Structure 1
């Protein structure tokens, strides 16, 4: 997941790995709090949600932050309402 996020935020070095790893874990926790019980990184929608969260929250000078945050919030809401993601079996 870290490599996917790094590619998405256009980072090729390891300088920000710790910050990005924290953002990945924060995204998963935010999804869980919203009622998304399954946060498997192999799932394309979960992966997209994590990437959007990271793109919205990474860096201080991010002019597109609000756009990514809105996209993340919409996807999070849809996932939390979908039976495939909010039911634990």
Structure 2
């Protein structure tokens, strides 16, 4: 996931790897707290999860991000769709 997010952020060095990893972890936790299944949240091959995490990181990477609102809104929309999709939520039996 780190490589995909770094590519989206257009970062080629390793100077920000720990910050980016922290954002990836925060995105995963936020998705789980919203009801997305942990196995899905941790599936790096799932393109919807990858996109949600990437957009979260794009929103939160810089404190003075002029596009914060746009990316945060996009992330919230993706998160909402994931929490409504039956394949992504915990089922109660």
Same structural fold, with TM-score higher than 0.5 when normalized by the shorter chain: yes
Structure-2 separation of matches of 1:6 and 1:64: 17
Question: CA-atom RMSD, angstroms?
Answer: 1.0
Q: Name the structure 1 match of 2:51.
A: 48
Count of matched residue pairs:
88
Distance 1:24 1:6 in 2: 11
What's 2:30 paired with?
30
Instruction: Look up the match of 2:73.
Output: 70
Residue 87 of structure 1 deviates from its aligned partner by 2.9
Unaligned runs of 5+ in 1: none
Q: Which moved more, 1:42-51 or 1:55-64?
A: 55-64
CA distance in 2, matches of 1:81, 1:52: 19
Partner residue in 1 for 2:2: 2
User: Partners in 1 of 2:73 and 2:44 — Cα distance?
Assistant: 21
Deviating beyond 3 angstroms after TM superposition, the runs of 4 or more aligned structure 1 residues are none
